[in-house]
Amino acid sequence: MTTTEVDVAVIGAGPTGLYAAYCAGFRGMTTAVIDSLNFVGGQVMSLYPEKPVYDVAGLFGIPGRDLVRGLTEQADHFAPHYLLGCQVESFTRHNDRIALATDGGSEVSARAVVLAVGIGSATPRRLPISAEWEGRGLSYTVDTPADFADQDVVIVGGGDSALDWALLLEPIARSVTLVHRRSTFRGHASSVRDVMASAVEVVTEAEIVAAYGDALMHTVQITDHARGTTFEVPATKVVAALGFISNLGPIKQWPVDLEGGRHLVVNSRMQTSVPGIYAAGDATEYPGKVRLMSVGFGEAATAVNNIAVMVDPAASLFPGHSTDSITLAG
């Protein structure tokens, strides 16, 4: 078993967790950022990477993907350790350290923990063909649009991600087919209009029932329930944009106070009921809580600066102004 020793372990690589990693680095603390997804960005990257975000201070209309890129660059200035594709399951206390165990068998030992776990550990909703075709043509997100250039792409889903990705890939893919099991789409009306007016082939009340290929996929079979037909289309890439299932999962069993079984009760320092374990972002609960990224960023700063004092009682709670800091130069 590998153990990563750091000052602060941040569970969750969503916007709050990434900003917490920056804040901890700014305080001179080493950090590990752990996420069950194998990419950073939390809900922003899994649910709306292409959507413009209008209410993050100073970044009016920034696409979700660009916001996450900026947060990652900011955190990476202090080189946090990333453990992606690892769900944190349990913790044990060893003197003044907390050891986190992940489902992958790795361990992170830290002086303090920030639970930036949002609405929980996210896993993609799978298709019946998933087990056989993951990594051989089937994916759950469009991380690198260039990978879809000149490909026959089939996107499955009826929400904003499916519509956005269809529109994003239509100009670069050889073909794009959008398959949705209902007759109407859940996404924005303007996106639905744009897709209908584009070269995307739309098949509603339908589902993928089989896929064929050798090492890689080349064809999928679709059943059209409305017309009672089954047909094949070329498909070198399938994107299952069916959303993610989020679950606080193992953390529900931790001895932390929860509100409504899903949110972590914190005080004004962002401490949970367990010493050394703090929380920030969508995961927290207190009177007047507002679930927005701007609020999560503030909570991350509050949690980490209080951790700095917990780790070193002689340290100041106020981190100093970044504009005065020589550590950011260059």
Ligand X SMILES: Cc1cc2nc3c(=O)[nH]c(=O)nc-3n(C[C@H](O)[C@H](O)[C@H](O)COP(=O)(O)OP(=O)(O)OC[C@H]3O[C@@H](n4cnc5c(N)ncnc54)[C@H](O)[C@@H]3O)c2cc1C
Task: Return residues touching ligand X (CB under 6 A).
Answer: 11-17, 34-37, 42-44, 47-48, 53, 55, 87-88, 116-122, 249-251, 281-283, 291-294, 296
Query: Closest distance between ligand X and the C-beta of residue 214, in Å?
Result: 33
Looking from the CA of 113 toward its CB, the CA atoms found within 13 Å total 26
Q: Which is nearer to ligand X, 175 or 191 (CB)?
A: 191
The rounded distance, in Å, linking the Cα atoms of 30 and 206 is 50
Closer CB to ligand X, 120 or 137, in the complex: 120
> Could you tell me the smallest distance in angstroms from the CB atom of residue 17 to ligand X?
5
Q: Say if residues 67 and 59 touch (Cβ distance below 8 Å).
A: yes
Nearer to ligand X, 55 or 324 (CB): 55
What amino acid is encoded at 216 in this protein? L
Closest residue to ligand X using C-beta atoms: 118
Q: Which helix (H) or strand (E) holds 133?
A: helix 130-133
* Least distance to ligand X, CB of residue 81, Å: 14
- Distance (Å, whole) CA 226 – CA 181: 10
**Most distant CA atoms of the chain, gap in Å:** 73
Q: Minimum distance between the CB of residue 160 and ligand X, rounded to whole angstroms? A: 7
CB atoms closer than 10 angstroms to residue 253:
10
Q: Say how far apart CA 50 and CA 165 lie, in whole Å.
A: 8
User: Shortest approach of ligand X to residue 233 CB, angstroms?
Assistant: 29
- Nearer to ligand X (CB atom), residue 60 or residue 231: 60
Q: SS3 for 143-163, per residue? A: CCHHHHCCCEEEEECCCHHHH
Of the pair 82, 133, the CB lying nearest ligand X is at 82
